[in-house]
Structure 1
Amino acid sequence: MQQEKSVYKPMLGVEGQVQHLKDKGITFQLVNEEEAKEYLRNNNYYFKLTSYRKNYEKYEDGDNEGKYISLDFGYLKDLAIIDMDLRYMLAQLSFDIEHYTKIELLRLAEDLGEDGYAICEDFINSQTEDQRNRLMNEINRNENSVYCGDLFSRYPENFPLWVFLELIPFGRLVSFYGFCASRFQDKKMKNKYFMLKTCKDIRNAAAHSSCIINDLKADTAQYDTSYEVLHKLARIKSVSKNVREKKMSNARVQQIVTLLYVYEKIVTSKGVQEKAVERLRKFEERMMRNIEYYQDNDMIRTNFEFMKWVIDNWYLNV
């Protein structure tokens, strides 16, 4: 199949960027043009900020054909700030999940009489040659690390579990968790493994500062939502089955909600949970602060309301 040629677009300065937005029908009522230029120079960059346009429809005909409907620069700015807060919150929650996943694995290994060495060796040997090479490359990157270099040097050939868990990245930790679920023949762990895979995607997006809420369209999820997550969502009386299914068909919302579910299941410290509740409360307040901006955009407004219902029912009103 012939590869499409890439499109060349000239780099625009802030003057050209603002003019281009105006040409696309974006207004400057909440934020004037000079303030927008200053924001683009010092606080955000054009490509990232304008990615949130995907949540808005365009006129299909008439004098305004191809221009955005009811989109102000201030709305883009608000969405960018909400998204930043969302990334920070999800990153912290995912760090907690990673930590308590390691604790769970160490506890299970001890309870089931593992010596801590064979389980790591068996996992490595279970990989294909290509997978094994990638795994060893990930581990070997720690050799000159100021943080993990000492650990690496103490165990140059045979890693015990408590060291192995410190040397592998989160994606590999999730794979190892799935291996342990099979090894221990634990169905609950297996279900949790599939949910952790979903958490991995949103965790990586947050850690790499990727935009998250710039595409809230339905029917973008590649996989079915976990039955456990759907079962708990069904207990939220204010959310109908139709709304639940539609919102969870968006890949990003599905991943966020799954992470919130997994957090509650894996993180066992009451103190850590209380800090998470406070982070979620602050995020929800910021998400809903300017909800009136989105009264004419059902996709954004209803997704924000759905996430509020989940946070309220799972964390704030319990």
Structure 2
Amino acid sequence: MLTPEEQVALLKTKGVTFERCDEAEAIFALTERDSFLHIASYRKLFPKHQDGCDAGKYIGLDFADLVDLDELDGEIRRAFLLLTNDIERIAKAQLLGRLSSQEQEDGYSIVARFMESQDVGYRKAIKRDLERRRDSNGSGDTYSGALIDRYGESMPVWVFLEVEPFGAQLAFMLFCARLWEDTALRDRHYELTYVKAVRNCCSHLSCIANGFTDAHRSVYDTPFSVQRWLADKGIKSTKARKSKLRNRRMQQLVTTLAAFDTIGGCKSSESLTALSNLSDELKERVKRYGEQNSFVSYLSFLARVVDTVK
């Protein structure tokens, strides 16, 4: 395990310079800002010398660039966390509204039927989690434990969707889509699985921008509803669009933007402000780094999609 001073020395052997951010500032960043693994991960976005005495070293990469991209990543995470929170909140409200209009549903039996429809392992996992979080003796979930304890085994849908995590809510949405033979709701469910991945990434402070490379290929097609949404927004199915959507991270971010734009409901003013600010930040980085760095085209594409929403 390297000390911050040794981490700086290691980066220097890889061609990273410390001109716009001196070594003392870099050591402070590696001690008080974020981990070496996190900050240094953005180096993979920059090209290396292919031959000569500097073969294998990065070209024109200063530590200041790593810190700058770390800051941009934070902007992306903060904006998309607000978006995903809005999406989750609105999707839950809309699903409850839809359920309330179903005259044959009483709010309790549909939860029981959902649980019965799940495989044994998943059903037991849900029950174990609820039991663990019950606050009957003051040692459970501080925020939802009392609610879980009050309803116990007989939980109505409005409580179930309130106390269950996003993953279980999505499973319930898919169950309803199949029950009602609703293809639009089924498609929304699949979009929201992408949203959930982005939400988890942002909540856990995982890196995003360091994956804006052609190497991060998706094994899944972009949902057709998202492709249609992009076309409606004037972003046609060009070679450039197809290239960017083959990147798994970009695919999930764009799907989140599409879901945010099309879900309706009451969005927070903070989300809309964050999108506007993010667009400015992305465009500023596009100007700063220029087209010689391939990751810039990803920033430019993301900014273009953000602009169609904000």
Common topology (TM > 0.5) = yes
- Alpha-carbon separation, structure 2, partners of 1:284 and 1:137: 43
Letter in 1 for 2:132: R
Compute the displacement of 1:34 (Å): 1.7
C-alpha change, 1:107 and 1:240, in structure 2 (3 Å) is: closer
C-alpha change, 1:236 and 1:265, in structure 2 (3 Å) is: closer
1:91 is aligned to 2:81: yes
Assess if the C-alpha contact under 8 Å between 2:282 and 2:300 holds in 1.
no
Letter in 2 for 1:133: K
- Alpha-carbon separation, structure 2, partners of 1:45 and 1:149: 34
Assess if the C-alpha contact under 8 Å between 2:45 and 2:213 holds in 1.
yes
Compute the displacement of 1:267 (Å): 4.1
C-alpha change, 1:138 and 1:91, in structure 2 (3 Å) is: farther
- Alpha-carbon separation, structure 2, partners of 1:185 and 1:138: 30
Assess if the C-alpha contact under 8 Å between 1:55 and 1:217 holds in 2.
yes
Assess if the C-alpha contact under 8 Å between 1:267 and 1:273 holds in 2.
no
- Alpha-carbon separation, structure 2, partners of 1:255 and 1:18: 34
Assess if the C-alpha contact under 8 Å between 1:247 and 1:253 holds in 2.
yes
Q: Could you tell me which residue of structure 1 aligns to residue 278 of structure 2?
A: 283
Aligned partner of 1:138 among 129, 134, 139: 129
Assess if the C-alpha contact under 8 Å between 2:282 and 2:299 holds in 1.
yes
Assess if the C-alpha contact under 8 Å between 1:138 and 1:169 holds in 2.
no
SS at match of 1:298: coil
Q: Could you tell me which residue of structure 2 aligns to residue 116 of structure 1?
A: 107
Letter in 1 for 2:249: R
- Alpha-carbon separation, structure 2, partners of 1:263 and 1:307: 15
Assess if the C-alpha contact under 8 Å between 1:142 and 1:167 holds in 2.
no
Assess if the C-alpha contact under 8 Å between 2:41 and 2:210 holds in 1.
yes
- Alpha-carbon separation, structure 2, partners of 1:248 and 1:42: 35
Assess if the C-alpha contact under 8 Å between 2:217 and 2:247 holds in 1.
yes
Assess if the C-alpha contact under 8 Å between 1:18 and 1:36 holds in 2.
yes
Aligned partner of 1:44 among 31, 34, 53: 34
Q: Could you tell me which residue of structure 2 aligns to residue 4 of structure 1?
A: none
Assess if the C-alpha contact under 8 Å between 1:97 and 1:267 holds in 2.
no
What RMSD in Å do the two structures reach over aligned CA positions? 1.6
SS at match of 1:190: helix
Q: How does 1:125-204 map to 2 (within 5 A)?
A: 125-143=116-134, 144-204=140-200
TM-score with structure 2 setting the length: 0.93
- Alpha-carbon separation, structure 2, partners of 1:105 and 1:296: 44
Q: Could you tell me which residue of structure 2 aligns to residue 244 of structure 1?
A: 241
- Alpha-carbon separation, structure 2, partners of 1:240 and 1:297: 24
Compute the displacement of 1:297 (Å): 4.0
Letter in 2 for 1:173: Q
- Alpha-carbon separation, structure 1, partners of 2:98 and 2:235: 38
C-alpha change, 1:57 and 1:263, in structure 2 (3 Å) is: same
String of CA shifts for 1:227-256, please: whole Å, max 9, x gaps: 121122224546661111011111111101
Letter in 1 for 2:225: E
Task: Identify unmatched segments of 5+ residues in structure 1.
Answer: 1-10
Give the number of aligned pairs: 303
Q: Could you tell me which residue of structure 2 aligns to residue 78 of structure 1?
A: 68
Compute the displacement of 1:309 (Å): 0.8
Assess if the C-alpha contact under 8 Å between 1:294 and 1:300 holds in 2.
no
Assess if the C-alpha contact under 8 Å between 1:96 and 1:267 holds in 2.
no
Aligned partner of 1:234 among 207, 231, 239: 231
1:307 is aligned to 2:307: no
Aligned partner of 1:256 among 250, 253, 278: 253
Name whichever of 247-256 and 146-155 sits farther off. 146-155
Letter in 2 for 1:209: L
Q: Could you tell me which residue of structure 1 aligns to residue 97 of structure 2?
A: 107
1:207 is aligned to 2:198: no
Q: Could you tell me which residue of structure 1 aligns to residue 137 of structure 2?
A: none
C-alpha change, 1:235 and 1:27, in structure 2 (3 Å) is: farther
- Alpha-carbon separation, structure 1, partners of 2:263 and 2:132: 28
Task: Identify unmatched segments of 5+ residues in structure 2.
Answer: 135-139
- Alpha-carbon separation, structure 2, partners of 1:233 and 1:302: 17
Compute the displacement of 1:275 (Å): 3.3
Aligned partner of 2:17 among 1, 22, 27: 27
1:60 is aligned to 2:82: no
- Alpha-carbon separation, structure 1, partners of 2:211 and 2:58: 15
Letter in 1 for 2:151: Y
Letter in 2 for 1:262: A
